[in-house]
Structure 1
Amino acid sequence: MTAEQVNVGFDDDEKRPSSRDDSHEIDESATSIPILDPNAEKRLLLKLDTYFVPIIMLVYLTCFLDRSNIGNVKVAGMPEDIGASPKQFSTAVSIFYATYVVFEAPWSILMKRITPRVLLTGLCTVWSLATIFSGFIHNVAGLFAVRLVLGGCEAGLFPALNLYLTMVYKRHEQGMRVSYLFVCTAISGAFGGLLAYCILKMDGIGGFAGWRWVFIIEGICSFLIAPVIWFGLPNNPTEAWFLTEEEKAMMKVREAQRAHYMGSEDFDSKEIRIALKDPKLYLSGAIQFCQDILLYGFSTFLPSILVNMGYSSIQAQYLSIPVYIFGGICFIAFAYVSDRTCVRGPLLFLANIPGIVGYILILCPTSNGVKFFGTFLCAIAVYNGPGLNMTWLNVNFAPHYRRATAIGVQQSIGNTAGIVAGQIYRTAPYVLGNAFSVGALGVVQLIITTNWFYLRYLNGEKKKIESGEKEDTRKVKSGDRATDFKYHL
């Protein structure tokens, strides 16, 4: 950090890293901030990624494993053992999202008050126990009960982790970090299939069926992550234990640079109301809903889709691994380009095109090899869609409580798709589920286009107000509504 001081102002070139102010004017009294040495800031970012990212990824990985393992045990005889009909099993998949969508916004808004450490550790502990208890159920009622508890606890994880990332990283740094979360969904699919493949070989050990061991072992793994969260994620990232005094000072400067974006730490119900009246929240929520239909249908039922292609249940477990890995790699590539260019909507639109082709190949009377190839194309849209859209929302809402509300509500809207996914993927050959998914992709392309033009219009209006071409008659002029806050398109 140099002693040189500069006036704080917004730089429209979002691609320029480090030294530029990430969010424009901090307040009327703060007219200058220190310049950070770009190389020193890169080293700081590398250190933050080294400590924070593995923990965040590990937590979300185990969370998604506990959520999606119901798809792995479906082909291993679990419904038959507990007397669940295909309809009842689909209901069990869907009922998870009943509590999930209800609790997302409250957990998101309460994170600051409860503190990230207490909230995330507590939720992880409870959902781990719910997963372990899933291995001891003997009827459909027990399955419904554990799924409801699981949904209510896991609801707080993704919004809270998203908010935590905004406490650490600037706007142009967030796409890659959000991508790490969604890569975990791909890894969990791949690792979950491999893990289930291995654990199912324990069938009969201790008098337990293999599917019971899947729940028990994966639940224990999640339970062991809770202490890692407690000791690894500080409530205030700027005072993290692994930072030197110089690095903590740099974090304070970065915090000042994005102060306009982060906003006040104090709770303000006005910001919640502003977010709830914002059209771009509901456009983003509609996009997330359509994209999540793919995410939850694909991640939960891919083993079943592969079994329908003629593969055995064991083959389906390990054949799903390369599909998930490919989807994760593609998302990292798209997120990297998105952060470098600060382009969000067009890349989201582009990523959905292979998905449309993939679902059509699966639906058409093609060979099993072609259908399997189609699953790889689907994976591009499955993981890029929700992740890129989540980043698009993150960087376009400010300050903190307005963004917290937006993330929670958007996720609640989007995750109702989990209820739909459980109902459309009921019986083989899953024509309804795959047809519904490709239809959702067609609809979402229109919504993405609408959102892009709306944000472009808002940026144009701000430009006119700044230049004096138009009078500013807007009721809300703070946070992301400030004229110097440019929306990412």
Structure 2
Amino acid sequence: MDDISKQQPMDEKAIGTSNGSHAPEDALKQVGIVEPQIDPAKEKILLAKLDLFFVPIIMLVYLSCFLDRSNIGNVKVAGMPEDIGASNQQFSTAVSIFYATYVTFETPFAISLKKLTPRVLLTTLSVVWSLTTIFSGFIHSVGGLYASRLVLGACEAGLFPSLTLYITMIWRREEQAKRVAYLFSCTALSGAFGGLLAYALLQMDGVAGYAGWRWVYIIEGLFSMLIAVAVWFGLPTNPAEAWFLSDEQKHMMRIRDQQRIQYMGSDELDWQEVRIAFQDPKLYLSGAIQFCQDILLYGFSTFLPAILKAAKYNTLQSNYLTIPVYVFGAIAFLAAAVASDRLMIRSPFILFANIFGIVGYIVLLTVSTDGVRYFATFLCAVAVYNGPGMNVTWINVNVAPHYRRATTIGFQQTIANTAGIVAGQIYRTSPYKLGHSFSLGALCLAQVLIVVKMFYIRWWNTRKEKIARGEIPDTRKYKTGDRELDFKYHL
């Protein structure tokens, strides 16, 4: 191309081999190799086009996923446990049992994404969980509820890691937080949309002889089935060859891939990269942080209608009053993500957002005024979505190449999503003092772990700089991917 004007950051521009190694820039210059660049104005148009075509489908599929997962909170307040003869303990078990299969299959699905291809894997999972949701509207026993939750967990296990990895296949490191925010905002919007949809569908109580909660499952499952069709046609295996891109834009996508070959690595499965991922302290620190943040996410998103009902709102009010809370959480995360990408820092935004959550849970535990307690849920929402979403971005941008990142994302989510089991057990009975107290403690622990990981990341960046300047000996065990000297970790 002749539109060569944009200089890439040092940690994104490596030209290399498929295993992540690369020649020094000076060596490339000596042999006359000039790295192709992209006109910033044309790249801006390209990014807008990618957002226009990819983001809505990514958002819709995750929206449908979280909708089908969390609607159990909406049907609880509509009489579902009584209709199938489930006790409070059995219902809590049904919430938790979802995560038994969910955490089991996350890492295998993440590693196999490229082998199975995003289109085939994501579409298949979408179809199966859609059918499971529809059939959930016809259960008549606790055993049927348990079975549907286990199948749902197994199918949805592959979705979030796969969508997160798909984002890394399209956008640069400094472009990812905003796109992860779009993805995570669906967690919030599914709560808002789920509350609104449940409010409407519960009015169908008695239609065709079915209870309103059954219609919630049936209609939402049909909606997810439509999204599965969009996934098949809308998420190509190779984003750089997407049908909506012009020839020039496809060429720009290939240049972008070449500029970040160090980050992307090989398309061939390398078990050495899998082993390296499991030896990286970043994985376990990130997983522990995500576990703490997900206790909030799953407790809040699943039980917010019940929390509001405990604050003396009726069944319909406890559903539609969730909508502004979820929307506010989504907006807060999107604003933070835009700033995070611009500054290329991640952890300070998590620390700041968690302060709002700490205050919110303290208010829920200590204040009895209904209006004040409702306001506290808005404060909690800031931490509920910013914390886990920004932490996922933080690990995404700091692990390379692809299969090392796939393993890390998958296992981080495996660690983190065991929080769903905890959430189902701590939010048992009104007024949910145990759940709020546990969530508050998890937030405080997360703050400590975030600071520890910040110091670890800073230590590695400093160590690389000193090695590059020859000030200390190079004792790195691994020297490819994110361990290369010119790969700067985002703090």
TM-score, normalised with respect to structure 1: 0.96
Alignment equivalent of 2:257, drawn from 240, 255, 258: 255
Match of 1:81 among 80, 83, 99: 83
2-side partners of 1:95 and 1:37: how far apart?
A: 51
**Structure 1 match to 2:290:** 288
Match of 2:101 in 1: 99
1:24 is the counterpart of 2:14: yes
415, 418, 433: which one pairs with 2:417?
415
After TM superposition, the structure 1 = structure 2 runs for residues 50-449 of structure 1, keeping only pairs within 5 Å, are 50-449=52-451
Equivalent residue, structure 2, for 1:476: 478
Where does residue 450 of structure 1 map in the other structure? 452
Q: Give the aligned residue type for 1:143.
A: L
- Kindly state the Cα deviation for residue 35 of structure 1 after the two structures are TM-superposed: 1.4
Q: Please tell me the root mean square deviation across aligned C-alpha atoms, in Å.
A: 1.3
CA distance in 2, matches of 1:373, 1:157: 32
What's the counterpart of residue 46 of structure 1? Answer: 48
- Structure 2 CA distance for aligned equivalents of residues 259 and 32 of structure 1: 15
Q: Are 2:10 and 1:11 equivalent residues in the alignment?
A: yes
TM-score (normalised: structure 2): 0.96
1:2 alignment partner in structure 2: 2
For 1:17, the equivalent position in structure 2 comes to none
- AA of the residue aligned to 1:150: L
Deviations 1:141-195 (CA, angstroms, capped at 9, x unpaired): 0000000000000000000001101110000000000000110011100000000
Contact 1:135 1:213 in 2 (8 A): yes
Q: Do the aligned residues in 1 keep the contact of 2:5 with 2:40 (CA within 8 Å)?
A: no
Alpha-carbon distance in structure 2 between the residues aligned to 1:35 and 1:396: 23
Retained in 2: the 8 A contact 1:5–1:33?
A: no
1:128 and 1:380 mapped to 2: Cα distance?
Answer: 30
Which residues of structure 1 form unaligned runs of 5+?
Answer: 13-21
Distance 2:335 2:9 in 1: 28
Q: Secondary structure, in 3 states, of the residue corresponding to 2:165? A: helix
Matched-pair contact (CA < 8 Å) for 1:10–1:24: no
Query: What residue is the counterpart of 1:19 in the other structure?
Result: none
Describe the SS at the equivalent of 1:32. coil
Aligned residue among 440, 456, 465 for 1:463: 465
Looking at structure 1, the residues matched to 271 and 451 of structure 2 have their Cα atoms a distance apart, in angstroms, of 31
SS in 2 for 1:35: coil
Look up the equivalent residue of 1:167 and give its one-letter code.
Answer: M
Per the TM alignment, residue 25 of structure 1 is displaced from its structure 2 partner at its CA by 4.0
Aligned to 1:224, what secondary structure does the other structure show?
helix
Question: Partners in 2 of 1:384 and 1:3 — Cα distance?
Answer: 37
Q: Deviations over 1:239-270 (max 9, x none)?
A: 00000000000000001011110111111000
Q: Residue 34 of structure 1 aligns to a residue in which SS?
A: coil
Counterpart amino acid of residue 327 in structure 2: I
Instruction: Show the counterpart of 1:18.
Output: none
| 8 Å CA contact retained: 1:187, 1:328 | yes
Q: Distance in 2 between matches of 1:360 and 1:9?
A: 45
State how far apart, in whole Å, the 2-side matches of 1:217 and 1:339 are. 37
Contact 2:305 2:322 in 1 (8 A): yes
Deviation at 1:33, TM superposition (A): 1.8
1-structure distance, mates of 2:355, 2:477: 39
Whole-Å separation in 2 of the counterparts to 1:96 and 1:339: 33
Q: Deviations over 1:287-334 (max 9, x none)?
A: 000000000000000000000000001000110000000000000000
Letter aligned with residue 67 of structure 1: R
Distance 1:221 1:389, change over 3 A: same
In the TM superposition, what is the alpha-carbon distance from 1:23 to its structure 2 partner? 4.2
Cα pair 1:359 1:437 within 8 Å, conserved: yes
Q: Is the 8 A contact 1:9 1:25 kept in 2?
A: no
SS in 1 for 2:321: helix
Please state how far the C-alpha of 1:3 moved relative to its aligned partner.
5.8
- Which whole-Å CA distance do the structure 2 matches of 1:301 and 1:259 have between them? 43
CA distance in 1, matches of 2:3, 2:367: 68
Letter in 2 for 1:379: A
CA positional deviation for 1:2:
2.4
Q: Distance in 1 between matches of 2:54 and 2:46?
A: 12
Amino acid at match of 1:2: D
1:36 aligns with 2:26: no
CA distance in 2 between counterparts of 1:3 and 1:292 reads: 45
Is the Cα–Cα contact under 8 Å of residues 38 and 252 in structure 2 kept in the other structure? Answer: yes
Q: 2: CA distance between counterparts of 1:59 and 1:433?
A: 29
- SS of the equivalent of 2:367 reads coil
Percent of pairs identical after alignment? 65
Q: Secondary structure at the match of 1:36?
A: coil
Task: Give structure 2 stretches of 5+ with no counterpart.
Answer: 17-21
